[in-house]
Structure formats: C-alpha cells, structure tokens
C-alpha cells in the first residue's frame, strides 16, 4: 500500500456510507479473510476473521459517522488515524494495517485524550 492516507480516507468514507445505509456488506468486503478488529477501551471483541466482524457489525451496528482529522504512517502497511465522531464530538484513534489491498487489522480506541497521557 503506497498511499496510506488515501486508503484511510476510503476506509472512513466506506464506514460512513455503511452507517447511513445500514448495509455493512461493502465494508466487510474490504477486509481480509483473516482480518482482526479489536477495541482497547470497551469490553467487546476482539473479532477474528471477516465473518465474525460482519456478524458484530450486523448485530450491533454503529450509529454515528466520523470525520477523519489526521493520518500518520507507522510503516509501509500501517497507519494511525485520528477521528472525531460527528454526533457526540468525542475523539478516537484507529490503527489500520493493510495486506494485499485489504484491511488486515483494525484497532480502535474511542477516546484518544484518555490514552494520550
């Protein structure tokens, strides 16, 4: 993945589209078969594999869109994305890793300020 900023932007746009439509199939199709999604500050997950992630999104779908604030490249396949939830105004951080053009790992922290000490 050469342009991680563009990849993160596409990921966030797809997420927001799926929040609006309620159809998570396009989002989960962007994930690797063995993708992993974890949350650092809520008692849910981790979810292992595209199918398990799809079930999680369908059973408890997000209801808020997000605005991407900044992207930091961590290595050639991994980026840290700072975002703000549009309705609540709370911030968060996602660390995303790509493999062969698919999202292979997502780690989400819902309150970046809580972890920036």
> Rg of the chain over CA atoms, in angstroms?
13
Burial class (CB in 10 A: 0-12, 13-18, 19+), 33: exposed
Q: How confident is the model at residue 105, as a pLDDT?
A: 98
CATH fold, domain 4-115, is: Nuclear Transport Factor 2; Chain: A, (3.10.450)
pLDDT in tens, 4-54: 999 999 999 999 999 999 999 999 999 999 999 999 988 889 999 999 999
| Phi-psi category of residue 115: left, alpha or beta, with phi > 0 → left and psi -120 to 50 → alpha | alpha
Given a contact cutoff of 8 angstroms between Cβ atoms, the answer to whether 87 and 16 are in contact is no
Helices (H), 30-111: 50-59
Prediction pTM value: 0.89
């Amino acid at each position: 993945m050469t342009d991680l900023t563009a990849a993160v932007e596409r990921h966030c746009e797809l997420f927001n589209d799926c929040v609006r439509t309620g159809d998570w199939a396009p989002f989960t199709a962007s994930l690797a078969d063995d993708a992993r999604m974890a949350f650092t500050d809520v008692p849910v997950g981790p979810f292992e594999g595209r199918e398990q992630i799809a079930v999680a999104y369908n059973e408890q779908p997000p209801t808020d869109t997000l605005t991407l604030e900044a992207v930091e490249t961590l290595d050639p396949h991994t980026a840290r994305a700072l975002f703000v939830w549009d309705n609540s105004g709370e911030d968060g951080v996602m660390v995303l890793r790509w493999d062969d053009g698919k999202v292979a790992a997502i780690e989400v922290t819902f309150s970046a300020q809580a972890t920036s000490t």
